[in-house]
A and B are shown apart, each in its own frame.
Chain A
Amino acid sequence: MRQGRTLSSRLWAAAIWLLVGVFVLNLLAVIATVIVSSLATRWLGTWLPAGWTAQWYASAWSEFQLADVLTTTFEVAFLVVLISGLVGAPAAYALARREFPGKRLVMLLLLTPLLAPPITYGIPLATVLYSAGFAGKLSGVVMANLVPSVPFVVLVLIPFVEQIDPKIEQAARVFGAGTSRLFWHILTPLLAPGVLAALLLVLVRTLAMFELTFLTSGPDSQTLVVALYYAVFAAGVRPEQSINAMAVIFMLTSMVWLFIALRFVNPTQIVARARKTAA
């Protein structure tokens, strides 16, 4: 749409770009603060630190037992991705291809965990998991993280399945393909990009999921984001640079996956998926 070339419309456009610029500048500055502080020898009352060092990464690594925490984090994330993929992809196929009584109820059951804030259902869930003896362990953390992940995979994949013409499957049947051939030779190659995108997003979301992991994890089942929270919460005990070094490690672990995911999906999809199904 061509905007008018009047002075007021130019001022308006400039004001909007200024707003975006200030926001992006502040956002990048917040991230830069963490990185600069993690590399600083001493940083008090100046624009930039007195000197640079990488020693905080080594001390954070041993102080916060990051080797263990990272192992737990990836165990949790891997299990959540695996289970939600195995459970979510078939469910998406069934929901995209079949009409059945109660389908609207199933869709509602899938949509609510994505729209409800984690704290609201996380507290009753943690209560149940504690009384069943799962909370405080890896299994409890994985279970809690499945609640938003399974519906997410299903809702991301439904449109992917819908865009595959059922005639392709029927043609394969006509030519004598059995169910396993149909699955491996027709559905798997066609659905692979969608499944990959959905699972990468689940991975990114699980790495950043604070509330559910926080409510259900014990000392041995903390993921990196929860360990980071405890470090910030108890700040003052340890040097700030060390906490920031841990924050940078967290940032790197999730950003790597985010950038891989962004090769397959449009950024707006990360937030807009729930809406498209809701509307």
Chain B
Amino acid sequence: MAIASSTRAPFDRVTLLAAPAVLILCALFLYPFVYGLWLSFAPAAGGALANYHKFFADPFLYGTIATTLWLALPVTILNLVLAVPVAMRVRLMHSQRLLTTILVLPITLGVVLIAQGLLTYLGPQGWFNRALMTLGLVSHPVRLVHDYWGVFLSLFITGFPFTFLLTLSHVSGIDPALEQAAATLGANARQRFFRVILPLLAPGLAIAFCLSFVQAFSVFPSAILLGAPAGPTRVISIAAYQAAFEDFDYSMASAIAMIMGGVQLAIIAAVLGLRGLAYRGPAGGGKG
């Protein structure tokens, strides 16, 4: 900022314009979170850690972590692996608007609508199974709904556009001149991608991975509607929801929500830690 006089004044009335937003977030986000943390250590019966003991002693509860990871990690990795080559290709297009508009649809329509559509579409009489049978790929309908794969596909159909649009915005930020320079120096397409583009893209991909993972890990409505919420897709959000609104044990529910946040944070920290090993620097060309 060039105007030092106006930006360096410590507390003036303009700064106070931020106060209502800060107050609302303290009241509705920070306070409930701290209260939830405290509540999780204040169970109805037992010591401070009773909720956490109960969670990690009961396979029906601690098993939900593995169930959720078993859905969220493969979907996130698949989304990312597919999003990178597609984004590399789409960035060369002159008009990306139609494709990006179609892809933004599942994000704005939301998981509930997609789940409802998939229930019919993937069902035994749905178009998907019909098409597979017409093509002769299967002889009788594949069971997809009320199973792991229904939830997997719903996470893929809402998650892939999200990951793709994030990746596209990162890929578009890489100066094409860098790739041209590599081509001039004789690098082929594969070398250009792995030696030039991928190192520049790594930090962005780490962020895209984290944001997509958080979305997939908090899977809730589609796990109930499309999955088998008592068995293979009993994810951790379902356990938290049941504790709060079926057992009315808010203390336990808060503990599960905290464990859920903790697992996410651990995965994100691990990914961002890996990112620290990668190249850090400008992705623009020229005199950077």
Spell out A's residues near B (CB within 8 Å). 1, 3-4, 9, 12-13, 16-17, 19-20, 23-24, 26-31, 33-34, 37, 44-45, 47, 86-88, 90-91, 93-95, 97-101, 106, 109-110, 112-113, 115-121, 123-130, 143-144, 146-147, 150-151, 154, 166-167, 170, 204-205, 208-211, 214-215, 225, 228-229, 232-233, 235, 240, 243-244, 247, 250-251, 254-255, 258, 262, 266-268, 270-272, 274-276, 278-279
Given the interface pairs A16-B89, A119-B257, A247-B117, the reply to whether A26 lies near B128 with Cβ below 8 Å is: yes
The reply to whether the CB of B201 lies closer than 8 angstroms to some CB of chain A is: no
Given the interface pairs A94-B14, A100-B11, the reply to whether A124 lies near B189 with Cβ below 8 Å is: no
Kindly name the residue among A99, A124, A267, A270 whose own CB sees the greatest number of chain B CB atoms within 10 A. Answer: A124
Q: Are B28 and A117 in contact (CB under 8 A)?
A: no
Q: Are B108 and A254 in contact (CB under 8 A)?
A: yes
Given the interface pairs A123-B254, A147-B25, the reply to whether A3 lies near B189 with Cβ below 8 Å is: yes
Question: Distance in Å from the Cβ of A197 to the closest Cβ of chain B?
Answer: 14
The reply to whether the CB of B95 lies closer than 8 angstroms to some CB of chain A is: no
Q: Are A128 and B31 in contact (CB under 8 A)?
A: yes
Q: Are B25 and A270 in contact (CB under 8 A)?
A: no
Q: Are B157 and A267 in contact (CB under 8 A)?
A: no
How many A-B Cβ pairs are below 8 Å? 283
Q: Are A34 and B117 in contact (CB under 8 A)?
A: yes
Q: Are A124 and B35 in contact (CB under 8 A)?
A: yes
Q: Are B104 and A258 in contact (CB under 8 A)?
A: yes
Spell out B's residues near A (CB within 8 Å). 1, 3, 6-12, 14-18, 20-22, 24-26, 28-33, 35-37, 39, 82, 85-86, 89-90, 92, 97, 99-121, 125-128, 130, 157, 160, 162, 165-166, 168-169, 176, 179-180, 183, 188-189, 203-204, 207-208, 210-211, 214-215, 217-218, 220-221, 224-225, 237, 240-241, 244-245, 250, 253-254, 256-257, 260-261, 264
Select A268's contact among B12, B25, B108, B165, beta carbons within 8 Å.
B165
- Residues of A within 8 Å of B97, CB to CB, are 267
Q: Are A97 and B7 in contact (CB under 8 A)?
A: yes
Determine the residue in chain A with the shortest Cβ distance to B169.
Answer: A272
- Residues of A within 8 Å of B218, CB to CB, are 117-120, 211
Question: Distance in Å from the Cβ of A214 to the closest Cβ of chain B?
Answer: 8
- Residues of B within 8 Å of A12, CB to CB, are 85
Q: Are A121 and B29 in contact (CB under 8 A)?
A: yes
- Residues of B within 8 Å of A129, CB to CB, are 32
Bound Cα distance A97, B22 (Å): 16
Question: Distance in Å from the Cβ of B96 to the closest Cβ of chain A?
Answer: 9
- Majority DSSP secondary structure for residues of A touching B: helix
Select B29's contact among A112, A228, A279, beta carbons within 8 Å.
A112
Bound Cα distance A254, B105 (Å): 10
Question: Distance in Å from the Cβ of B239 to the closest Cβ of chain A?
Answer: 11
Given the interface pairs A120-B257, A146-B24, A268-B165, the reply to whether A128 lies near B35 with Cβ below 8 Å is: yes
Bound Cα distance A243, B18 (Å): 43
Q: Are A17 and B89 in contact (CB under 8 A)?
A: yes
Question: Distance in Å from the Cβ of B229 to the closest Cβ of chain A?
Answer: 10
Q: Are B17 and A109 in contact (CB under 8 A)?
A: no
Bound Cα distance A12, B7 (Å): 52
Question: Distance in Å from the Cβ of B19 to the closest Cβ of chain A?
Answer: 8
Select B113's contact among A34, A98, A130, A233, beta carbons within 8 Å.
A34
List 19 A-B pairs, Cβ < 8 Å. A19-B86, A26-B121, A33-B121, A37-B120, A86-B20, A87-B24, A97-B7, A117-B214, A123-B254, A127-B32, A166-B1, A167-B3, A211-B220, A229-B221, A243-B116, A271-B162, A275-B207, A275-B211, A279-B207
